Amino acid sequence: MRYRERRERPLGWALYRTSTKRRWMVPFLAIEWMWEWIAHLLSNWAFLEALEYLSSLGVLVAVVFYFTESGDRLKQKHSQAWQVMNTAQGKGGSGGRIEALQELNHDRVPLVGVDVSGAFLRGVKLEKAELLRSNFSAADARNGDFAEADLSFSELRSSNFRDSRFVKTLLREADCTETDFSGADLSGADLSGADFTDADLHSADLRDAQWKSIKNMKRANIFGVKNAPDGFLAWALQQGAVQTPTQP
């Protein structure tokens, strides 16, 4: 709060006027003397001091209300994000879903069972998202980031995840049939029980991926796979995978 200093009583006019000997300065000096009296009177007016206290109190009350209502504002923000998701469900394009998904995930809201089938989600950032049993079928999520996310039991059929990040992502029991993972980073991903029938894994990075319990690799393209774990290529080909060069 600003401190108001009480001003001393100004000199009488007769004495105040003696501060200059120039006659042309007298009118200006009179104006200055008048304002000094006004300042003196106001500095001793308790009403103004009370107003300053009330102003400071108002600021304090506003701050308190801001923090006490923060929970309601957060709920409202999440509700609006879910409304965007529900309104756009089953439709093509983004429909604001990229921002809504990222906002919810940023606030650590579980996205279990979310349905974004057929959506345009290119470049979506969903690191560490809880996407258990979600539906990304036929979605375009190229260049997305799903590092350390949980996509277990999710529907990823016919979706496009080219050049996306799945580092240490859980893809257990996920349906990846006809899914495009070309150029994707699957380092350390858990692929146990996942179905890669007709999937495109060419040039994907499989460093340290947990692959031994993969459910199906029939006709999956593993051409140019990077950092394939020991034994993976031979096993995959034995399970019906293919190595078909693709056009750039």
Q: What is the pLDDT of residues 168-209, one digit of tens each?
A: 999 999 999 999 999 999 999 999 999 999 999 999 999 999
User: DSSP of 58-121, one letter per residue?
Assistant: HHHHHHHHHHHTHHHHHHHHHHHHHHHHHHHTT-SS-TTHHHHHHHHHHTT---TT-B-TT-B-
How far apart CA 236 and CA 63 sit, in angstroms, is: 62
Of residues 219 and 49, the one with the higher pLDDT is 219
- Split at pLDDT 50, 70, 90, the class of 11 is low
Mean pLDDT score of the chain: 86
Task: State how far the Cα of 31 lies from the Cα of 25, in Å rounded to an integer.
Answer: 10
**pLDDT confidence band for 94 (50 / 70 / 90):** confident
| Residue 91 predicted with pLDDT over 60 | yes
Contact between 221 and 200 (Cβ < 8 Å): yes
Question: Distance (Å, rounded) from C-alpha 238 to C-alpha 248?
Answer: 27
What does the buried/exposed string (b/e) look like for 101-122 if buried means 16 or more CB atoms within 10 Å of the residue's CB? bbbbbeeebebeebbbbbbbbb
Q: pLDDT tier at 123 (50, 70, 90 boundaries)?
A: very high
pLDDT band at 1 (very low <50, low <70, confident <90, very high): very low
15-33 tens-digit pLDDT: 666 666 676 766 766 777 6
Q: Say what the pLDDT of residue 19 is.
A: 66
